[in-house]
Structure 1
Amino acid sequence: MNNYNILILSAGRRVELIQAFKKAAKKLNINSSIIAADMSGLAPALYFADKHKLIPAISDINYIDNLISLCNEENVKLVVPTIDTELLILAENKQRIESETNAKVMISDLKLIQMCRDKIKTSDDLSNNGFLVPYLYSDQDIEQNKVAFPCFIKPKSGSSSINAFKVNNNKELELYRKFIPDYMLQEYVGGDEYTIDVFLDFDSNPITIVPRLRLATRSGEISKGLIVKHRIIIDTIKNMMDEFKFIGHITVQLKIDKEIKFIEINPRFGGGAPMSIAAGADSCENLYRLLMGEQLSYNEVYEDDVYFLRYDSSIMVKKGEIIL
């Protein structure tokens, strides 16, 4: 029987994702070891995986060499990134990794990754393709006091809502501009906020599109959500995927007041992805099926109008059992 081993990078707190891959492998009755990798032996997800590996920091000169060796040692069939900072190096080295191992890398084309990692470029490219985005203030707008408050400031390559703030007046704006490097300043958009889990096959064909209404967040990640089969959102995302040929699991963030305005695209599993997986849009099962050579078709066979309420949990690890 073939092995379909999965390597999850920067595993951190991604316990739910590891469990989802395990559940999918059991359902399909296939051999699959889930290998969790992280630079820290204190990453909780390491202790839920079938195997765990400590790897160098992404900035380490030997990072890709180490990753290739790990893939070959563990007969990895799929490499799954989970954080923004590893996306560029994986996209830049995708061809090398796939040519020197038996693994596929769940990463989109380098140009798309570059677009997503620069939120100003994301805004420009979406706008140029006919998708509405919040107005982006220029330096000239700021100098000429043409900024309408409230507005929103954030780093152009940030993540997890770090250094992202609603700005209510000029005094706050000047303060935030001083300590947020390489920032972008946008129109503040009210209304409901959605994260959409999109899964595409390796030829960029959409397989599932799941809108999640963000009811509450913590540190930029959803903590309470509601799955909603919002037809306008789903159809708009289909149009977007026709223009931007992503692969694998990605997340799109948008707000709806009177119209849809797109905030950003994260070309990886988001922290709330297990919500959509549990509702029936199982990206983990879909990835296994693709690795087995199956052809998948678009479907909306997932539960609608279901709430997900996330909570923290802890594990006890004795001193001598910490991964070193």
Structure 2
Amino acid sequence: MPRGVDIRTPTGRLASFLLDEKCTKLTLTENAVLTKVLPHPSLLRTKPITITGKCPRSPGGRCVIDGQGKFTAFVFPVHVTMENIEFRRAALTAVKADGGFVGRNLVFARNRRPVNFDVSPNDAPYTARLCISGNFTISDSTFSENAGYSAFVLGTSEGDTFTRGVISKCTFSKNVAARIGDAVSLGGERSKTSYCVADSTFMGNTAAQRAAIDASNGQVQIVRCTFKNNKATEFFAGAVLIEKYEKFSLCNCQFSENTAKESNNSNLFVSQVTTIPAQLCYAAFCPAQPPLTEFNCNFNGDRDEPFPCFPITIGGPGCAVCR
């Protein structure tokens, strides 16, 4: 048993697992209200970690880890699989996974960072609820009522390479970023990233801009998703912002009641400001381009085009990439 850890408490048992380099699997059978920040696992860990909730009195066996609005939860240096866990009232980051992530039946609810409007965005603390580096798959999970100054609820590292990510059957609702932020932020290195968001709902999310999804670089697919009542209060992209991509496909999605201060892009803003030639990029809308969509293109660095300056497919061959 690691020194200074009291395994008689739920927080102590979590800390003991994280500090034991030989332990790779943990089954939770009780809720935990954190009384201190959980320790970071040793960087000497090399094997994947699995944490599963099996609380008998909770829906789906989910166990709650409550940060009391004071404490962060997990930081993992290796690939982690988490199932049947609710992260509630964490401060700053609830989960940071630096080696890839698989999540099923998770809830991130009311994780908040106090907002100080006198601090500029560049000086504000970086906030996120679930931050991932590496490949990931997240399914059947809910992200609700999380808030911060400049934040995203689920995001990837901008420096990631060769990243593949899938989000499916998830709900993102009533999340708030006081300044720049969104529910889902997907970034990485061009030509090396690929993301698919499928069968998910984005409802009632609010940010200064890009309230629901922001995706950039690589290939992006958004399939059979619903975007309703998302709001960009200061700038553009009430629901979705796509920028600097190679291939973008939006298939069988529903948009309604999304708003942005710049109302001509309340549903979708597509930006392709890059030096990469237009023929290397394409966008596919299946079966139709959503209303209130705006395009911003500048390939040569010396002009903006009022209309799409990259190949666009509406209901045509480009839709074959959709699942």
Taking structure 2 as the reference length, the TM-score comes to 0.20
More strand by share: 2
Which structure is higher in RCO with an 8 Å CA cutoff and minimum separation 6? 1
More helix by share: 1
Taking structure 1 as the reference length, the TM-score comes to 0.20
